[in-house]
Amino acid sequence: MNRTPIEWCRTYKADGSYEEGYSVNPVRFLPRGATRTTTMCQRVSQGCTHCYAEGITRRFWPKDADEGFHGYNAIGLLTGEFVLDEKTLLSVLKHKKPARIFWGDMTDLFQASVPDAMLDQCFAVCALTPHLTHMFLTKRPERMLEYFGRRSKEECYRDIACTEKQFAFVWRVQKRILDLFNSVSTEALNRAAEANNLTPSWPLPNVWLGTSVEDQAQADKRIPLLLQTPSWVHFISAEPLLGEILLEMELVRRDSLAAMLARYHPDRDGRIGDFLVAEGVVTREAVQIAADAQQRLMTTAQT
Ligand code: SF4
């Protein structure tokens, strides 16, 4: 997990200062013949033309790989396979301070070649870290919708946390953390599970889903798919911006506002409340009530 200068990952404080967020890339790519992993993706639209991740991967492509780097394209994808880096997942679980985490800034986690089982394990970690805000951004909202939309709430939760495999994974990493604190009793494990909100809650309240739109055509195509995908908060990234985009702000607000307020926590979510008040979307009192309710919830979870 690394610090990232990406602005929308920052956590703002009441005085306007902020802390940078983090990026994390647990879904890695292992080229055939290589002893270390790298990242991989496939360009999908004009917004990928100057993909910074592709340039970084080109520079650091493993020298012992059977083939050289072909690029973020279909041929590149055939030169190896995606693997999940549990050590990186563990680094997210160890992070105790509230922060925003951007998952997959070097790839697109919702590209077709990333198996559901890897996404399940990423979301299992999100379920175990309710104090963190996890942000997933994709240029493939159709896959994101398919992943989140085709299963019922119960099925999704079972798949991320309760199937034998994922549940074993969740408990294994949880136990490893508790080992670090010399607290390995069953009671401690149960307390940790409870504090980590392992009771079914879907969509996960601390997960934000977003899509990148570089022009009006992609906005018209991707935003409706994003809004159909169950999430407490939807967000849009318009970078690189290749043309003017007109958004139906009322649609965005209606969809996200209730959910945003229901989970609002100023330490974690920064100035979203201020923004909504300034825009005339909600009153200052409504934001304060939501913040107080979240504070009570956080206090209960920590005791
Ligand atoms: S989807 Fe993102 S990571 Fe993948 S090629 Fe496009 S810009 Fe790069």
Domain that holds residue 265: 248-303
The Å distance, Cα 50 to ligand 1 centre, comes to 9
66 Cβ contact partners less than 8 Å away, ≥ 6 residues apart: 31, 32, 33, 34, 79
236 Cβ contact partners less than 8 Å away, ≥ 6 residues apart: 210, 211, 212, 213, 219, 223, 226, 247, 252
Q: Which of 65, 84, 103 is the last residue of a domain?
A: 84
Q: What are the distances in angstroms from CA 243 to CA 35, 219, 240?
A: 42, 11, 9
Question: Are 163 and 65 contained in the same domain?
Answer: no
Question: Are 62 and 106 contained in the same domain?
Answer: no
- In 3D space, the residue among 51, 34, 61 whose CA is nearest the CA of residue 212 turns out to be 51
Angle at CA 19, nearest 5°, toward 192 and 124? 30
Question: Are 109 and 124 contained in the same domain?
Answer: yes
- Residue 301, pLDDT score: 45
Q: Cis bond leading into 31, ω under 30°?
A: no
Contact 274, 286 (CB under 8 A): no
Question: Are 294 and 229 contained in the same domain?
Answer: no
Looking at residue 228, its amino acid is Q
DSSP string, 82-130: EEE-HHHHHHHHT--S--EEEE-TTS-TTSTTS-HHHHHHHHHHHHH-T
Q: At what angle do helices 216-228 and 141-149 cross, to 10 degrees?
A: 10
The Å distance, Cα 164 to ligand 1 centre, comes to 33
Closest Cα to atom 6 of ligand 1:
48
Which atom of ligand 1 is closest in space to residue 104's alpha carbon? 3
How many distinct structural domains can be found in the chain? 3
Question: Are 70 and 156 contained in the same domain?
Answer: no
Backbone angles phi, psi at 110, to 5 degrees: -100, 20
How far apart are the C-alpha atoms of 192 and 231, rounded to whole Å?
A: 25
Question: Are 188 and 239 contained in the same domain?
Answer: yes
Question: Are 130 and 16 contained in the same domain?
Answer: yes
- In 3D space, the residue among 47, 107, 105 whose CA is nearest the CA of residue 72 turns out to be 107
Question: Are 13 and 38 contained in the same domain?
Answer: no
Question: Are 273 and 141 contained in the same domain?
Answer: no
Ligand 1 binding pocket includes 41 (Cβ within 6 Å): yes
- Residue 10, pLDDT score: 84
The Å distance, Cα 130 to ligand 1 centre, comes to 28
Question: Are 173 and 237 contained in the same domain?
Answer: yes
Q: What are the distances in angstroms from CA 32 to CA 37, 89, 161, 262, 286?
A: 10, 23, 31, 47, 55
In 3-state terms, what secondary structure has residue 268?
A: helix
- Residue 183, pLDDT score: 38
Give me the average pLDDT of each 10-residue run along the chain (303 residues).
87 76 96 97 94 96 97 97 89 88 96 88 80 94 87 60 50 51 46 54 80 90 90 82 63 53 59 67 74 63 45
How far apart are the C-alpha atoms of 6 and 18, rounded to whole Å?
A: 12
> What is the radius of gyration, based on Cα positions, of the chain?
20
Closest Cα to atom 5 of ligand 1:
43
Question: Are 161 and 237 contained in the same domain?
Answer: yes
Ligand 1 binding pocket includes 77 (Cβ within 6 Å): no
Question: Are 258 and 126 contained in the same domain?
Answer: no
